[in-house]
Amino acid sequence: MELDERKRKILYAIIQNYQETGEPVGSRTISKYLDVKLSPATIRNEMSDLEEMELIIQPHTSAGRIPTDKGYRLYVDSLLEKEKKQLPAETNREGDLLIRKVDRLEEMLLQMAKILAANTNYATVITGPQYKRNKLKFIQLSPMEDDKLLAVVVTEGNIVKNNILQVGGELSQEDLLSLNLLLNSNLNGLTMEEINLDIITKMKEEAGEHSDIVNRVLDAVADSIRGEEKVRYYTSGAPNIFKYPELTGGDTASRLISTLEEKEPLGDIVFQPMEDGVEGDRHDIQVYIGEEVPVEAMKDCSVVTATYALSEGVQGRIGIIGPKRMDYEKVVDTLKSTMSQLDDIFDNNDDKKS
């Protein structure tokens, strides 16, 4: 929607004042926010036009105006466009964070959720990293007792999964060497989606009498690349909801708290961009306002999300949940700063390895 400069300034002044006070904004208040001199009558006329354009509404007969979802959307789109131009140029680096202790990563993500909630005064949700588009790096088959094989599967990011496979009989060292060579020469560097029927058929033909082992290894590879199906959520700041009167009326607050406690419904927010098959940019920030939020209990809220990445195909999401009058500029800046800090953490881990 195209607005002339005067209407845009008045709309933004209404939004910024409402963010601070939570009270409807009148023409006299607006005049104090503008960098140009306009009479209250002129401001009222412009506000009337903005109301006809459905960018603001008058909640009570004698009250001032408050922004609509449509008004917020225009403001947020302008803010994101400006922020995008300020982002530093992306560098082509392949992150290779060595995650050996999952509990340390969980501790970091939980601490991050607490810090974000404290810094923004909103609720925060962070997901653990997902490996669904991760690539295979290495497979090692080793003999065990009782006709079993240990299949060590290493995926990008040096994520190691051990799998015990039952086989029909003992294999010679020569057979194991041939199978390891066959598996690695055909599968290394592929995602699960790239391991197609042609590749599988070719491998099984070359494996001959050991084709059943190829099947079992492929199952182990699929399990390792996909990672755990159950997503981990780290939340913080739920009590912050009670700081905003518009979120405490009726059963709104209780439904929000329940959703944050149950956690699983939050997946509709944090995974929505990824489910479209689009690889998330590490600094990709999305804003959902009111009815745009895909969780019924949060239709009175706004949610701002960003993607963090450990390596190519290993990603998670961060979400900030607050009232529609949240301070979008502060939240976006906070998320950008957090992404930079995460990049530094992962770069430092890469430097230590090299």
pLDDT tens readout for residues 257-269: 999 988 888 877 7
pLDDT of 272 reads 59
Q: Give the mean model confidence (pLDDT) for residues 35-53.
A: 89
pLDDT tens readout for residues 209-245: 888 888 888 888 877 666 545 678 899 999 999 999 9
pLDDT of 226 reads 61
pLDDT tens readout for residues 88-112: 434 333 323 333 333 467 788 888 8
pLDDT of 120 reads 95
Burial class (CB in 10 A: 0-12, 13-18, 19+), 21: exposed
pLDDT of 90 reads 42
pLDDT of 132 reads 56
pLDDT of 225 reads 65
pLDDT of 57 reads 95
- The alpha-carbon radius of gyration of the chain (Å, integer) is 26
pLDDT at 62 over 90: no
Q: Give the mean model confidence (pLDDT) for residues 11-26.
A: 92
pLDDT tens readout for residues 281-321: 445 789 999 999 988 899 999 999 998 876 655 678 899 99
Average pLDDT in the chain: 81
pLDDT tens readout for residues 151-206: 898 877 667 888 888 887 778 889 899 999 999 999 998 887 788 888 999 998 99
* pLDDT band, very low/low/confident/very high, at 81 (cuts 50, 70, 90): confident
Q: Give the mean model confidence (pLDDT) for residues 116-138.
A: 84
* pLDDT band, very low/low/confident/very high, at 133 (cuts 50, 70, 90): low
Comparing 133 with 201, the larger pLDDT belongs to: 201
